């Protein structure tokens, strides 16, 4: 891995101890008549407190990487470690927001958001839980929808409810799979800013999967570009833009544009390759 950022910037390019480590990871999926290689030899270290974005064309295995870190999927070869230990079974140290929202359809927004507090492992937590639920719902802009069922919300609202449900119990690591994909452009900027504030304040480690290059550059301090399937790492670029950042204004700066342009150079070929491959 190469350091392409300038060290003149401070407050970025965090170098905590390695929290998540993938080593020569290979993932094969068996389909009906053949074996498809989704991930082909990925090695990647993510430091504690770091914000890593994984970008690449669809079907390149980005989500597969998150599933492995969450412990929902075992690599076919290679190793995935978390805090130095191999991930073996569901990793309860992470908060995982999947691409598909997994809100419970028979619970209202507030009951969905507060569900973490109903679990035994968190029942003894102190403080006014109802107030925390209300505050989190307000933070994601769902005030007034507390009593609504998921089926009564738009796709973007469901995403925000899912985000609130995850953030409320303050997991030390967040795995986010296209968290803002369903939001309109303005709301997306607001939510990105909210996320950055929360992450910066709490020192959470974040792994973000997105196909939006600008989102990756404005949020992350390391962007990893994947090749089209089978997924390999094509490039890693540090984004040493200082924090706190405001995604809404950041995109008008030269540094931001330079990073995007450099990453787009890498990504362009892969997107073309992915489009040329059927079923990508």
Partner 1 sequence: MRDTRGRFELPGPAVWALRLAVLVALIAGWQAASGTLLPVFYISSPAKVLEVLQRWLADGSIWKHVWATVLVLFSGYAIGAAIGIAAGLWLGLNPRTERLLQPFIAALFGLPKMALLPLLVIVFGIGFASKVVLVASVVVFLLLFATLSGVRDIDRDMVESLRLMGATEGELTRKVRMPAILPWVYTGLRTSIGYALTTTVVSEALQSNRGLGFLIEHAAVSFNAAGVFAAVVVLLVLSMAIMLPLGALEARMRPVRL
Q: 3, 17, 74, 122: which one contacts partner 1 (CB under 8 A)?
A: 122
What is the distance in angstroms between the CA of the first residue and the CA of the last residue of the chain?
27
Least Å distance between CB 120 and partner 1?
Answer: 6
Q: 36, 104, 130, 261: which one contacts partner 1 (CB under 8 A)?
A: 104
Site for partner 1 in 16-75 (CB under 8 A): 70-72
Q: 118, 135, 138, 265: which one contacts partner 1 (CB under 8 A)?
A: 118
Q: 54, 80, 116, 176: which one contacts partner 1 (CB under 8 A)?
A: 116
Range 246-251, long-range pairs (CB < 8 A, 24+ positions): 246/193, 247/189, 247/192, 247/193, 247/196, 247/215, 247/218, 247/219, 248/189, 248/190, 248/193, 250/218, 251/214, 251/218
Least Å distance between CB 153 and partner 1?
Answer: 11
Q: Single out the segment in contact with partner 1 by CB under 8 A; choices: 50-58, 118-126, 200-208, 263-271.
A: 118-126
Alpha carbon distance 31, 60 (integer Å): 16
Alpha carbon distance 38, 279 (integer Å): 12
Residue 209: Cβ-neighbour burial (10 angstroms; 0-12, 13-18, 19+): buried
Least Å distance between CB 177 and partner 1?
Answer: 11
Site for partner 1 in 124-163 (CB under 8 A): 149, 151
Q: Single out the segment in contact with partner 1 by CB under 8 A; choices: 101-109, 132-140, 196-204, 237-245.
A: 101-109
Q: 95, 114, 230, 240: which one contacts partner 1 (CB under 8 A)?
A: 95
The torsion defined by the Cα of 38, 160, 90 and 229, in degrees rounded to 10, comes to 0
Nearer to partner 1 (CB atom), residue 10 or residue 151: 151
Asked if residue 6 binds partner 1 (CB under 8 A), the reply is no
Least Å distance between CB 97 and partner 1?
Answer: 8
Q: 21, 52, 63, 98: which one contacts partner 1 (CB under 8 A)?
A: 98
Asked if residue 92 binds partner 1 (CB under 8 A), the reply is yes
> Nearest CA to 28 among 45, 40, 10, 15?
40
Q: Single out the segment in contact with partner 1 by CB under 8 A; choices: 31-39, 113-121, 138-146, 270-278.
A: 113-121
How far is CA 135 from each of CA 97, 164, 195, rounded to the nearest angstrom? 20, 10, 15
Nearer to partner 1 (CB atom), residue 5 or residue 95: 95
Residues with Cβ within 8 Å of residue 92, at least 6 apart in sequence:
121
Residues that bind partner 1 (CB under 8 A): 70-72, 90-92, 94-96, 98, 100, 102, 104-106, 115-116, 118-122, 149, 151, 169
């Amino acid at each position: 891995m190469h350091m392409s950022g300038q060290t003149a910037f401070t407050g970025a390019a965090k170098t905590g101890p390695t929290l998540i480590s993938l080593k020569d990871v290979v993932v094969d999926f068996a389909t009906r008549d053949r074996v498809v290689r989704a991930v082909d030899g990925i090695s990647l270290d993510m430091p504690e407190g770091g914000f890593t974005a994984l970008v690449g064309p669809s079907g390149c295995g980005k989500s597969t990487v998150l599933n492995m870190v969450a412990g929902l999927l075992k690599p076919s070869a290679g190793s995935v470690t978390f805090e130095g230990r191999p991930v073996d079974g569901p990793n309860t140290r992470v908060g995982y927001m999947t691409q598909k929202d997994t809100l419970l359809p028979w619970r209202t927004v507030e009951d969905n958001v507060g569900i973490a507090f109903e679990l035994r492992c968190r029942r003894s937590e102190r403080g006014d839980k109802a107030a925390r639920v209300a505050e989190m719902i307000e933070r994601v802009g769902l005030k007034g929808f507390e009593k609504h069922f998921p089926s009564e919300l738009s796709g973007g609202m469901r995403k925000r409810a899912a985000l609130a449900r995850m953030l409320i119990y303050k997991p030390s690591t967040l795995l986010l799979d296209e968290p803002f994909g369903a939001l309109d452009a303005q709301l997306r900027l607001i939510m990105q800013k909210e996320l950055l504030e929360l992450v910066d304040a709490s020192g959470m480690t974040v792994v973000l999967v997105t196909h939006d290059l600008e989102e990756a550059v404005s949020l992350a301090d390391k962007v990893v570009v994947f090749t089209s399937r089978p997924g390999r790492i094509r490039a890693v670029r540090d984004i040493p833009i200082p924090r706190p950042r405001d995604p809404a204004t950041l995109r008008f700066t030269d540094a931001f544009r330079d990073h995007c342009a450099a990453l787009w150079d890498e990504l362009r070929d892969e997107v073309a390759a992915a489009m040329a491959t059927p079923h990508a």
